[in-house]
Amino acid sequence: MPEPAITRLQSGGLITNYVCSSACAHCSYRSSPKRDKAYITADEAAANFAACRRLGCRSMHIGGGEPLLRPEGLKDVLRAARQEGIAIEYVETNSSWFKDLDTTVDLLKELQQLGCDTLLISIDPFHNEFIPFAKVKGVLQACRRAGMGIFPWVMEFYDEINRLDDQTVHSLEEYEKAYGPGYLADVQSRYWVTMCGRAVDTFGPLRARQSAAEVLRTAPRSCPRLLGTGHFHIDLYGNYVPPGCVGLTVRREDLGKPLAEENYPVFRTLLARGVPGLHESAAELGYQPTREFAGECDLCADLRAFLATTAPDRFPELAPVEFYTVDR
Contact positions vs ligand SF4 (CB under 6 A): 196, 223, 225-226, 244-245, 270, 275, 296-297, 300
Instruction: For the CB of residue 318, give the shortest distance to ligand SF4 in the complex, in Å.
Output: 11
What is the distance between the alpha carbons of residues 4 and 258, in angstroms, rounded to a whole number? Answer: 6
Instruction: For the CB of residue 187, give the shortest distance to ligand SF4 in the complex, in Å.
Output: 21
From 80, 104, 103, select the one nearest 14 (Cα to Cα): 80
Q: Which is nearer to ligand SF4, 57 or 215 (CB)?
A: 215
Instruction: For the CB of residue 105, give the shortest distance to ligand SF4 in the complex, in Å.
Output: 41
Q: Which is nearer to ligand SF4, 254 or 317 (CB)?
A: 317
Instruction: For the CB of residue 24, give the shortest distance to ligand SF4 in the complex, in Å.
Output: 19
If 0-12 CB within 10 Å is exposed, 13-18 middle and 19+ buried, where does residue 208 land?
exposed
What is the distance between the alpha carbons of residues 144 and 148, in angstroms, rounded to a whole number? Answer: 6
Q: Which is nearer to ligand SF4, 245 or 319 (CB)?
A: 245
Q: Which is nearer to ligand SF4, 66 or 235 (CB)?
A: 235
Q: Which is nearer to ligand SF4, 64 or 274 (CB)?
A: 274
Our CA dihedral for 297, 302, 304, 310, rounded to 10 degrees, sits at -170
If 0-12 CB within 10 Å is exposed, 13-18 middle and 19+ buried, where does residue 106 land?
exposed
Amino acid identity for residue 213 in this structure: A
What is the distance between the alpha carbons of residues 35 and 23, in angstroms, rounded to a whole number? Answer: 10
Instruction: For the CB of residue 312, give the shortest distance to ligand SF4 in the complex, in Å.
Output: 18
Number of neighbours of residue 49 by Cβ within 10 angstroms: 23
Reading phi first (left if > 0) and then psi (alpha if -120 to 50, else beta), residue 231 is in: left
What is the distance between the alpha carbons of residues 66 and 18, in angstroms, rounded to a whole number? Answer: 8
Instruction: For the CB of residue 38, give the shortest distance to ligand SF4 in the complex, in Å.
Output: 25
Q: Which is nearer to ligand SF4, 139 or 199 (CB)?
A: 199
What is the distance between the alpha carbons of residues 158 and 216, in angstroms, rounded to a whole number? Answer: 40
Q: Which is nearer to ligand SF4, 96 or 239 (CB)?
A: 239
Q: Which is nearer to ligand SF4, 50 or 193 (CB)?
A: 193
Instruction: For the CB of residue 317, give the shortest distance to ligand SF4 in the complex, in Å.
Output: 11
Instruction: For the CB of residue 209, give the shortest distance to ligand SF4 in the complex, in Å.
Output: 16
Q: Tell me the CA distances in angstroms from 170 to 158, 167, 302, one per residue in order.
A: 14, 10, 30
DSSP bridge pairs for 121? 93, 152
